[in-house]
Amino acid sequence: MKHPVVMPHLGATGGDVKIIEWQVTEFDVVAAGAALLTVETDKSAVEVEAFRGGRLVGPLAAAGSSIAPGEIIGYLSEEPAEGPSIAGARSAPYNVRTASPPALPGAALVPAGHHEPRTARAVVKLSRVQTGNAAAQFAERLVEAFATMVLIRRYEEHLYQLFLQGLVPGTLHQCQGQEAVAVGVCSALRRDDFVYSTHRPVGHLIAKGASLEAITAEIWGKATGCVGGKGGQMHLADFAVGAMVSNAIVGANIPIATGSAMSFRLQGLDRVAVSFFGDGASNIGAFHEGLNLAAVQDAPVIFICENNLYAASTHFGLTARITDIAERASAYGMPGVVVDGMDVEAVFAAARTAVARARAGKGPTLIEAKTYRYRGHSRGDPGHYRGRDEHDAWLARDPIERSRRRLTAEFAVGATRLDEIESAAQARVEAAVEFARRSPEPSPGSGLEHVFA
Ligand SMILES: Cc1ncc(C[n+]2csc(CCOP(=O)(O)OP(=O)(O)O)c2C)c(N)n1
Ligand SMILES: [Mg+2]
Q: Which atom of ligand 1 is nearest to the CA of 306?
A: 21
Residue of 199, 306, 394 to mutate, ligand 1, most atoms within 8 A of C-beta: 199
For atom 6 of ligand 1, which residue has the closest CA?
A: 250
Backbone angles phi, psi at 22, to 5 degrees: -85, 140
pLDDT at 114: 31
For atom 21 of ligand 1, which residue has the closest CA?
A: 278
281 lines ligand 1 (CB under 6 A): yes
Nearest ligand atom owner, CA of 286: 1
Give the span between the Cα atoms of 7 and 4, in whole angstroms: 10
Q: Where are the alpha helices (DSSP H) in 208-340?
A: 212-219, 253-266, 285-297, 329-332
279 lines ligand 1 (CB under 6 A): yes
pLDDT at 130: 54
Distance 96 CA to ligand 2 centre (A): 22
Give the span between the Cα atoms of 168 and 183, in whole angstroms: 25
Q: Which atom of ligand 1 is nearest to the CA of 249?
A: 26
DSSP 21: E
282 lines ligand 1 (CB under 6 A): no
Q: Which atom of ligand 1 is nearest to the CA of 173?
A: 19
308 lines ligand 1 (CB under 6 A): yes
- State the amino acid at position 250 in one-letter form: V
For atom 5 of ligand 1, which residue has the closest CA?
A: 250
248 lines ligand 1 (CB under 6 A): yes
Give the span between the Cα atoms of 246 and 200, in whole angstroms: 8
pLDDT at 102: 29
- In 319-398, the DSSP E strands lie at 336-340, 365-370
199 lines ligand 1 (CB under 6 A): yes
Q: 302, 277, 97: which is closest to 187 by C-alpha?
A: 302
Q: What is the dihedral of CA 294, 297, 300, 301, to 10 degrees?
A: -10
Q: Which residues are CB-neighbours of 76 under 8 A, at least 6 positions away?
A: 2, 3, 5, 30, 50, 51, 52, 53, 54, 55, 56, 57
Q: What is the pTM of this model?
A: 0.86
- pLDDT per position in the chain (453 positions), as tens? 899 999 988 877 778 999 999 999 999 999 888 889 999 988 788 889 898 899 999 989 999 999 998 899 999 998 754 443 433 344 443 333 322 322 323 333 333 333 332 323 333 343 344 567 888 899 999 999 999 999 999 999 999 999 999 999 988 999 999 999 999 999 999 999 999 999 999 999 999 999 999 999 999 999 999 999 999 999 999 999 999 999 999 999 999 999 999 999 999 999 999 999 999 999 999 999 999 999 999 999 999 999 999 999 999 999 999 999 999 999 999 999 999 999 999 999 999 999 999 999 999 999 999 999 999 999 888 888 999 999 999 999 999 999 999 999 999 999 999 999 999 999 999 999 999 999 999 999 998 888 888
Distance 84 CA to ligand 2 centre (A): 33
How far, CA to CA in Å, does 328 sit from each of 10, 69, 325, 358? 37, 44, 6, 19
Total residues belonging to the chain? 453
Q: 322, 330, 281, 332: which is closest to 305 by C-alpha?
A: 281
Nearest ligand atom owner, CA of 277: 1
Nearest ligand atom owner, CA of 249: 1
Angle at alpha carbon of residue 244, lines to 239 and 247, rounded to 5°: 150
Distance 359 CA to ligand 1 centre (A): 30
CB 203 within 8 A of CB 344: no
Distance 172 CA to ligand 1 centre (A): 13
For atom 2 of ligand 1, which residue has the closest CA?
A: 250
